[in-house]
């Protein structure tokens, strides 16, 4: 990679970092492109050399952060000796929830913005700009040979939507209950959802 290309990559990443910080601190609506550029130490016009607008950078960030959450959970999973795939999924879910619980700003950002569409594009593009093998993690779970799932994509979809929407309220506002009290019910529900999709 040439010096110029390296420089460009650094600028891009600096902008992404700045945007993330500001989105989390002030929210997207109250973050201006001028803020992002200033925070990143570049001129306002430079922003437009790398991103189309605020929502472009937001989508990239969401995908990126979601990938990181999964990758981190998967890395932790590898250190455990959990053989049952259903329990692996629960483990990953739990790990992600704990991560989000530790970093409520991240939760606020991801949950408010994550949609299935972005999640899937994140899956597909996970190899472009970072080395997270997000897609591999996903595939590994789906295509193992312990269970045979019917419509595994729908299953994953429902699990992710259930977890992300319930955690949002529970972690941020303790509504209707705090997260640790919610977890047992939540994981039972996840197990129930999985069971519906398992072929005997």
Return residues touching a copy of itself (CB under 8 A). 29, 115-117, 120, 151, 153-155, 157-158, 161-162, 164-166, 168-169, 173, 175-177, 182, 185-186, 188-189, 192-193, 195-197
CA distance 160 to 138: 12
If the CB atoms of residues 35 and 74 are measured against DNA, the closer one turns out to be 35
**Residues 181 and 189: beta-carbon distance below 8 Å:** no
- Alpha helices by DSSP H, listed for the chain, are 3-26, 33-40, 44-50, 54-79, 85-102, 104-113, 116-124, 134-142, 152-173, 179-197
**CB of 28: closest distance to DNA in angstroms?**
9
- Encoded tokens for 128: 């472009």
If the CB atoms of residues 47 and 138 are measured against DNA, the closer one turns out to be 47
Tell me whether residue 47 is exposed, middle or buried, using C-beta atoms within 10 angstroms of its C-beta: 0 to 12, 13 to 18, 19 or more: buried
If the CB atoms of residues 2 and 78 are measured against DNA, the closer one turns out to be 2
Choose the one of a copy of itself, DNA, none that binds residue 35, judging by a C-beta under 5 to 8 angstroms depending on kind.
DNA
Choose the one of DNA, a copy of itself, none that binds residue 192, judging by a C-beta under 5 to 8 angstroms depending on kind.
a copy of itself
| Helix 104-113 × helix 85-102 angle, to 10° | 110
List Cβ neighbours of 112 (8 Å cut-off, separation of 6 or more).
168
CA distance 168 to 111: 6
If the CB atoms of residues 11 and 120 are measured against DNA, the closer one turns out to be 11
Please report whether residue 117 would count as binding DNA according to CB under 7 A. no
Q: Among 3, 78, 128, 192, which residue sits at the site for DNA (rule: CB under 7 A)?
A: 3
If the CB atoms of residues 21 and 161 are measured against a copy of itself, the closer one turns out to be 161
Give the range of 4-12, 77-85, 102-110, 180-188 binding DNA by CB under 7 A.
4-12
CA distances from 94 to 69, 73, 138, 182 (A): 11, 9, 16, 12
Site map 26..65 versus DNA, x via CB under 7 A: ----x-xxxx------xxxxxxxxx--xx-----------
Q: Which of 58, 57, 59, 93 is nearest to 74 (CA)?
A: 93
- Interface with DNA (CB under 7 A): 3-4, 7-8, 11, 30, 32-35, 42-50, 53-54
């Amino acid at each position: 990679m040439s010096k110029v290309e390296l420089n460009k990559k650094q600028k891009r990443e600096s902008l992404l970092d700045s945007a993330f910080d500001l989105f989390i601190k002030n929210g997207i609506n109250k973050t201006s492109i001028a803020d992002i550029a200033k925070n990143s130490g570049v001129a306002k016009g430079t922003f437009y050399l790398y991103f189309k607008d605020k929502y472009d950078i937001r989508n990239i960030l969401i995908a990126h952060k979601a990938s990181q959450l999964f990758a981190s959970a998967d890395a932790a999973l590898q250190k455990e000796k959990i053989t049952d795939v259903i329990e692996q999924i629960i483990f990953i879910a739990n790990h992600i929830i704990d991560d989000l619980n530790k970093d409520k700003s991240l939760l606020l950002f991801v949950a408010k913005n994550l949609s299935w569409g972005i999640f899937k594009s994140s899956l597909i593009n996970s190899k472009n700009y970072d080395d997270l093998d997000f897609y591999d993690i996903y595939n590994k779970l789906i295509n193992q040979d312990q269970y045979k799932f019917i419509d595994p994509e729908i299953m994953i979809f429902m699990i992710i939507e259930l977890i992300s929407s319930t955690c949002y309220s529970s972690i941020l506002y303790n509504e209707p209950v705090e997260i640790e009290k919610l977890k047992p019910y939540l994981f039972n529900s996840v197990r129930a959802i999985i069971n519906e999709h398992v072929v005997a």
